[in-house]
Structure 1
Amino acid sequence: MSQVILIEENENLRDLLAINLKTYVGSEVIPRSTAAEAIDLLNILPNVDLIITQDRVGDENTASILLNYLKESDSEVSMIVNGPFDHVDEEKLIVIKEEKDWETIISTSAQVLGVSIESLEKRVLPEFIPVEVRYFLPLDSSCCDVFIRIKKTATEYQFIKRIHAGDHYSKSLVEKYIEQGLSFFYIPKEFQNNFTNFVSDHLSQKLDENNFKSLDKKIEVIAQSYEIALQEIKKLGFNSATIQLTDSIVKSMVSASKDSPEVNQVLHKVINSKSGYLYQHGHMTSIVANEIAKNLGIDQELITQRLAYASFFKDISFVDNEDLAKISTFEELESSSLNEEDWDLVFNHALDGALLIRKHPEAPIDVDTIIKNHHGTTNGKGFSTNSMNKLPQESKIFIIACEFVRELLDFKERGGKPHPIVDELYKTYSSPEMVKIIKALEKTLRSKVEKK
Structure 2
Amino acid sequence: MSKTILLGKDMLQMDIYSLNLRSFVGTEVTILNSSDKVRQFLDLDSSVDIIISVNQAGDQELALEVLKVVKEKKLAIPVCSIGEVSVAEGIYHIFKQALELKELVRFLAKFFDVTAKNMFSLNVGEFYSIPINYFVGLENNITDVYIRINLADGSYQYDRKCRKGETFDQGLLEEYIIKGLKKLYIPAIDRLKFTNYFTTQTFLRLKSEKLSAHDRIAVTDMAMQITAEEIKSIGLNEHTSVMAKTCIESIEKTIKDYPKLTNLLNRLLKSPESWTYKYCQILTYVTNHMVSKTEWGSKEQIEKLNFATFFQDLEFLSPDLDAEKLIPILSNDDLQEAINNGLSQEEKEVIEKHASIASELVKDLPVTPFEVDVIIKQHHGSYNGVGFPEDIQGNISHLAQLSMVAQDFTRELMKIYTPDQFNPGKLVKKIQLKYKKQRMKKFVESLESITF
TM-score over 0.5 (shorter chain): yes
Q: Which residue of 1 aligns with 2:310?
A: 312
Q: What's the TM-score, normalizing by structure 1?
A: 0.56
Conservation of the 8 A alpha-carbon contact between 2:236 and 2:362: no
Alignment of 1:396-415 (within 5 A): 396-412=401-417
In the other structure, the counterpart of 2:129 is 164
Q: Residue 329 of structure 1 corresponds to which residue in structure 2?
A: 331
Q: Does the CA-based 8 Å contact 2:218-2:273 persist in structure 1?
A: yes
The one-letter code sitting in structure 1 at the alignment partner of 2:378 is N
1:438 to 419, 444, 452: 444
RMSD in angstroms over aligned alpha carbons? 3.7
User: Separation in 1 of the partners of 2:303 and 2:214?
Assistant: 23
Correspondence for 1:199: 199
Post-superposition CA distance 1:288-327 (Å, at most 9, x none): 0010110114343211211111111111111132122122
- How far apart are the structure 2 equivalents of 1:288 and 1:330? 23
Query: Amino acid of the residue matched to residue 365 of structure 1?
Result: F
Task: Quickly say closer, same or farther: Cα 1:425–1:164, change in 2 above 3 A.
Answer: same
Task: Give the CA deviation at 1:203.
Answer: 2.1
- In the alignment of these two chains, the number of paired residues is 288
Provide, for residues 229-288 of structure 1, a one-character-per-residue CA deviation record: whole Å limited to 9, x for no partner.
Answer: 112211221233322211111011112112444344224423333222211111111110
Shift of 1:154: 13
Matches of 2:117 and 2:220 in 1, distance apart?
38
Distance 2:114 2:333 in 1: 48
Code of the residue aligned with 1:319 in structure 2: it is: L
2:395 maps to a residue whose letter is K
Map 1:133-172 → 2, pairs under 5 A: 158-160=122-124, 163-164=128-129, 167-168=132-133
Q: 2:430 aligns with which of 424, 430, 451?
A: 424
Is 2:352 the partner of 1:347?
yes
1:25 matched residue in structure 2: none
**TM value normalised by structure 2:** 0.56
Which residue, 199, 224, 227 being the options, matches 2:225?
227
Give the share of equivalent positions with the same residue, in percent. 22
| 2:28 equivalent in structure 1 | none
Equivalent of 1:358 in 363, 377, 383: 363
**Partners of 2:377 and 2:384 within 8 A in 1:** yes
SS of residue matched to 2:217: helix
Q: Structure 1 pair 254/212, CA: closer, same or farther in 2 (3 Å)? A: same
Aligned match of 2:252: 254
CA distance in 2: counterparts of 1:152 and 1:388, whole angstroms: 51
Residue type at the aligned position of 1:276: S
Unpaired runs of at least 5, structure 2? 1-23, 25-100, 136-187
Distance between the aligned counterparts of 1:203 and 1:355, measured in 2?
Answer: 28
Does structure 1 retain, via aligned residues, the 8 Å contact 2:353–2:385?
Answer: yes
CA contact (8 A) 1:207 1:222 kept: yes
Partner of 2:211: 212
For the residue of structure 2 that corresponds to 1:327, the secondary structure is coil
Please give the per-residue CA displacement for 1:90-147, whole angstroms capped at 9, x wherever unaligned.
xxxxxxxxxxxxxxxxxxxxxxxxxxxxxxxxxxxxxxxxx94879xxxxxxxxxxx9
Q: Deviations over 1:190-230 (max 9, x none)?
A: 965x7545533x122111113223x2211111111112211
Q: What is the letter of the counterpart of residue 438 of structure 1?
A: V
* 1:440 Cα deviation from its structure 2 partner: 1.1
Compare CA radii of gyration and give the structure with the larger one.
1
Q: Is the 8 A contact 2:378 2:397 kept in 1?
A: no
The answer as to whether partners of 1:283 and 1:311 remain within 8 angstroms in 2 is: no
Q: 5 Å matches for 1:262-277?
A: 262-277=260-275
Change in Cα spacing, 1:133 to 1:298, as seen in structure 2 (3 Å) is: same
